[in-house]
Chains A and B, each alone.
Chain A
C-alpha cells in the first residue's frame, strides 16, 4: 500500500510540477521573442481540451500498438519520477541499483514513441521514429558515462566497499562530501548530461523526431484527442523528471528532506536547470541527425570519458 501511495503522490506531484514547467518553458520562450505568452493554466487547458476530443485512428494503423504506446511511455516516466522522489525523501532506504532502473525507465518513453509512430502507418511518423532511434543511440552513451562520474567519485570516497548505484547513497554522499558539481570532473559530466537531457526531452536543437516544420509533428503526427493528451503529459513529466535527475546526481538533490530551506534550495536548483534547458532551446537551430550523432559520439562522449578518468584520479 505504501508503495502505491508513494507512486500516486509522486506521479501527481511531478505532473503538476511538469505542467508548471512547461508553462515556464512557453512563457520564457515568448518573452525571449518579445511576446506576452500564454497564461499560467494554459497547459492544463490544453490537456482538458485534448481529453474531450475524438480519437482518430488511421486506416493503416495497427490499432492496439498505436493506442498502447502513449500509456506505456506515461507509466514509465511516472515510475521513474516516483523512484527519484523516494530516493530524495528517504535516501537511506532505496534499493540497490535504482540509478540503473531510472536510466532504463527514462529510455522507455522514447521507445514507446517509436513504437507508436511505427504502428501509426504514416510515412512522416516513420521518419520521426527512425530519427528518434538514432538520437537515442547517440545520446545514451555520453549520458551513461556522465552519470557514472558521481558513482566513481562516491566509490573513491567510500574506499574498498565498491561502487554503489543507489541514488539515495549519492544524495547522502553529496550531503557529507559536497556536491559532485564542485569538482572538475563533476562540471564536465554535468555539462554533458545537460546536453544529453536536452536530447532526451527532444527539445530544440534535438527536436528531430518531431520537427514541426519538416515532419509536421513526426512521431506524434497521427495522434489526436486523449492519446495525444497522454503524449503531452509524458512530455510534461519528463520535463520535470530530467532536471530533478540532474540536480539529484550533480547538485546534491534535497540534502535534508526535513528542512524547508533544503526544499527551497532544491526548487532554486531545479529552476536554474530548467531555465538552462529553455535557453538552450531558444538559442540554437535544429541539428541534422548526422550532426547530432557526430556531436554526441565524437564531441561529448570523449568529454564524458575524460571526466570519468579525472573522477578516477579524484579531481
Chain B
C-alpha cells in the first residue's frame, strides 16, 4: 500500500455535492457529523471547497442544469479522489428517471469525465447513516 493510499484511507475529507436531491439524503449526510455518529473518529471532515476534498458525496438525480456543474466540481477535485453516489437517485435516477429534467445517472457523468474514476455506491432512499459509514469503510478498504 502506497503512502498516498494510506493517507487517503486515514483522512478522507468530504465535499457534499447536491445535484438535485430532495434534501432527504443531505439531512442524513449531515447526521454523520453529529455526536451520535461522529465520523471525525475516522478522520472524515466536511470541507467547504472541492479543492480540499478527497471524496465527493453526490446526492440527488443529476439534473440537466447540474450536470456541467458536477463535471466542473469533479475536475476541481485533486486526484486521487473517490466519488460516492448516495441514495437511489444518484445511482439510477430513482423515481425521477423519466422526468424531463433528469440528465443521466451520476456515475455515467463522472465516467464520461474520467473513465478511471473511483466510484462507490450507497443505495437507499435515503440510506441510513450506518449504511453510509459501512459504505465508506468498504470503499476505503477496497482502495
Q: Which residues of A contact B (CB under 8 A)?
A: 26, 30, 33-39, 42, 45-46, 48-56, 212-213, 215-217, 220-225, 228
Is A223 touching B7 in the complex (CB atoms < 8 A)?
A: no
Whether the pair A36, B41 counts as a contact (CB closer than 8 A) is: yes
Q: Give the chain A neighbours of B80 by CB distance below 8 A.
A: 52-54
> Quick one: given A26-B40, A53-B80, A54-B78, are A42 and B11 in contact (CB under 8 Å)?
yes
Ranked 9 nearest A-B pairs via Cβ: A49-B7, A52-B4, A216-B48, A45-B10, A54-B78, A48-B7, A224-B51, A35-B38, A224-B78
Total of A-B residue pairs, C-beta within 8 Å = 85
Tell me whether A35 and B40 are in contact in the complex, defined as CB-CB below 8 angstroms, given that A42-B11, A53-B54 are known contacts.
yes
User: Is B51 within 8 A of A45, CB to CB?
Assistant: no
Interface residues of B in 1-16 (CB under 8 A from A): 2-4, 6-8, 10-11
B76 at the interface (CB under 8 A from A): yes
**A-contacting residues of B (Cβ < 8 Å)?**
2-4, 6-8, 10-11, 35, 38, 40-41, 43, 47-49, 51-52, 54, 76, 78-80
In the bound complex, residues from chain B placing their C-beta under 8 Å from that of A38 are: 40-41, 43
- Secondary structure type dominating chain A contacts: loop
Partner of A223, one of B2, B4, B51: B51
- What is the chain A residue whose CB lies nearest that of B41? A36
Contact (Cβ within 8 A) A35 B43:
no
Q: Which residue of B lies closest to A46 (CB)?
A: B11
Could you name 20 residue pairs across A and B whose Cβ atoms are closer than 8 Å? A33-B35, A36-B38, A36-B40, A37-B38, A38-B40, A42-B10, A42-B11, A45-B7, A46-B11, A48-B6, A49-B4, A49-B8, A52-B4, A54-B78, A54-B79, A54-B80, A220-B52, A221-B48, A221-B49, A223-B52
